């Protein structure tokens, strides 16, 4: 599945590494915890969407919804 939690987690991790920020620093700038960042990057399907959006914003990423 293209839009799976695992794929989103991979994208978050890839972007975080590309901008050279640690999980700890990402947690600080996004107002979340390190455990949340770890879970998000592993694709945990029950991550809180409000926090996911805060992390994406901190990384300069956005969610785009399109019809199939």
CB 27 within 8 A of CB 36: yes
Q: pLDDT tens digits, residue range 5-26?
A: 999 999 999 999 999 999 999 9
Give the closest residue to 8 by CA, choosing from 20, 66, 49, 32. 49
Q: How many Cβ atoms are within 10 Å of 44's Cβ, its own excluded?
A: 13
Kindly list the domain boundaries of the chain, sorted by start residue: 5-58
pTM to 2 decimal places? 0.88
* pLDDT > 90? residue 3: no
Class of domain 5-58 (CATH, top level): mainly alpha
Q: In sequence order, what are the residues at sequence separation of 6 or more whose Cβ sits closer than 8 angstroms to the Cβ of residue 68?
A: none
């Amino acid at each position: 599945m293209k839009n799976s939690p695992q794929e989103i987690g991979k994208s978050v991790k890839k972007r975080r590494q590309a901008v050279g920020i640690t999980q700890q620093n990402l947690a600080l700038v996004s107002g979340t915890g390190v455990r949340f960042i770890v879970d998000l990057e592993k694709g945990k399907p029950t991550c809180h969407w409000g926090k996911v959006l805060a992390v994406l914003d901190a990384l300069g990423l956005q969610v785009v919804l399109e019809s199939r």
